[in-house]
Each structure stands twice: as C-alpha cells, then as structure tokens.
Amino acid sequence: MCKPKHHFGKQACDSTSMGRRIIVASVVWLAACSNDVNFQQTSPFVGEWSCIQNESQQFPDATGTGLPTRLRYVITSPEQGQLVVASEGDAGSCAFQFSAQGGDAMLLAGQSCQNLGGMTLAYTSGSASVAGEKLTMTFHYDISGAGTAGAPGASGTGVMTDDCTR
C-alpha cells in the first residue's frame, strides 16, 4: 500500500510501495487475460469454399461418372475439433459432421443423405484436408433406393471428390 508522507503539507507515496502496486496490478491483469473464456483458436476449415465436385458410381450392371459440378460449401465449427460442412448447389443440400485436428478431418460415422433422385447415400468414410487456401474432400458411400413404377430398386457404391478454393 502507498503510505502517505507529508512534505510541506502535501502527500507523497513511497516509491517501493508504488512499484508493488504496479506489479500486483500487472499480475492480476495477466491472470485475467490468460483465463479469457472467449478465446477460440480458429479452424483452417471454417469459411466459405467454392468447389468442383467429381463423382463416380458403380452398380452391378453399370458404372457411371458424372460431369463435374460447381457448388459451394459453408463450414462452421460449433465446438473445437468439430466441423459441420453444409453444401449448396446443383446436388441439393446436405450437412456432414467431421472431427478435425489441425488441417485434417475425418467424417463421423453413420451419416446419410438423400439425393434429388430419391436415392439414399449412406457414407462409409470421408476425409478432408486444408493446405493454405485449398480444401480437398473425399467421400465414399453406399447407394440404395426403392424401385419406382415397375423399375427394380438399385444398390451400388460411389466416390465423390471435391477440390475447393476460398
């Protein structure tokens, strides 16, 4: 504490006491800043990505490769180490959940989406990686669908790759 001294009717502080006050205030400020609950490390995945998607599918009696499709992904990170990848574009909209560490991510198990043709795509594996301003994603899936209007049901497998830039 600053101990008042009287010099000709004025109060003054001892320099040693003043130094202690500054050190204590500095330590308290540093401790408060180091425990800041609003601090979050930003994932390199988070943001909007413009992508070219290539897809190939295999069925028991045929193999098909689609034309490259342009689409946009919006990636968020609701929790550290978790990503939500939402796609918008010609293929409809579907969100995927990944676990991430640094610039690498793995698709969480048990996810599926229905495409515009009514087929269910059950994702068996997926990965994503970011290097600078480039995002690469690969998805493997099983295809299933009920028959319609006398046509038999379909089942097969597929691979989808996305090459993206910001």
124, 134 Cβ separation under 8 angstroms = no
Q: Tell me, yes or no, whether 30 and 51 share the same domain.
A: no
CATH number for 105: 2.40.128
**Model pTM greater than 0.75?**
no
**Is residue 27 domain-shared with residue 52, that is, in the same domain?**
no
Statement to judge: residues 150 and 129 lie in one domain: yes
pLDDT tens string, the chain, 166 residues long: the values are 545 555 455 555 555 554 544 444 443 333 444 444 443 558 999 999 999 999 999 999 899 999 999 999 999 999 999 999 998 754 556 899 999 999 999 999 999 998 877 889 999 999 999 999 999 999 999 999 876 666 667 899 999 999 999 9
